[in-house]
Amino acid sequence: MRGILACLLCLFIGLNFLGCGEAEEDTEPMLSIELPDRYYDTSGVLYEITDEQVKELLNLDFPIDWYEEKDPELKAKYYHAMLIQKFGDIPAVHIEAIFYRLSLLTDGKPTETSIDDLILWAKAHYLLWPNEFNRKVLEDTQKQKIWRETDDPELYAKLYTETLIRQHGDIPEVHIVVEAERKKKFGGWRIATDADKSEYVEYLRAKYVLQPTEYFLCRYNVFKEVVDNGEPFGVAIKRQKETCVEGELEELFTLMLENAGDNPE
């Protein structure tokens, strides 16, 4: 959970200016889950700020090239002032400014936050710049929450498949990974036969195709060697822990933002 939320925050913030204008044309996935209109309702976006802070921002004379400012705190303040002077003292402005400041203070590094806070930011961003691009970001954030929390295996698989198809196309590896992840979430793996072990190795291969990192390549090689040699599966599990160093971010829905128009599981 940590990796996905961290990366989402990092990359969502990176879309601040890319998402402010017209949306780029995007290729729709072959599979698409439609969400009810209530998921796009921004009427409940709330945030409180003192009158003194509002007054200061409304009267702040920021430079035209404020975005060139090197001091992250000052740059964030300029951005906040720009927003409030353009859109007025509305909650969406302050939410947008807070997330932008956080991205500057962490120097673009992944930052932990809750999925509900990410949805709040996505709603605020969409309220300020209501184009299809930002609606898609909001939609994908909502779907991430549903995907994470659903206890319906079919819905889980559909949302997962939609995301992966948009990223990689409708290739066999997408469906291999989705089916394996569904097993992991709703019942776990039962590695009892050679066929089961081979299926797991095939899942690791497909995982590496979709996310070609050293970590996933290492896992695939370890398990494939053990299965090919007829060794106990526990040997692979132990060897993996000893030899495969997990990368920074490896959760699926980091790919969602690539799909939304920018460029991470």
What pLDDT digit, counting tens, does each position of 206-245 carry?
Answer: 999 999 999 999 999 999 999 999 998 888 888 988 888 7
Where would I find the H helices in the chain? 2-14, 51-59, 72-87, 91-105, 115-128, 132-149, 153-168, 172-185, 194-210, 214-228, 233-243, 255-260
pLDDT band at residue 132 using 50, 70 and 90 as cut-offs: very high
Are the CB atoms for 35 and 113 separated by under 8 Å? no
Q: Which tokens hold the place of 186? A: 């709703």
pLDDT exceeds cutoff 50 at 121: yes
pLDDT exceeds cutoff 90 at 203: yes
Q: What residue type is 170 in one-letter code?
A: D
Average predicted confidence (pLDDT) for the chain: 79
Tens-place pLDDT, residues 10-26: 444 344 333 443 334 44
pLDDT exceeds cutoff 70 at 78: yes
In eight-state DSSP terms, residue 35 is P
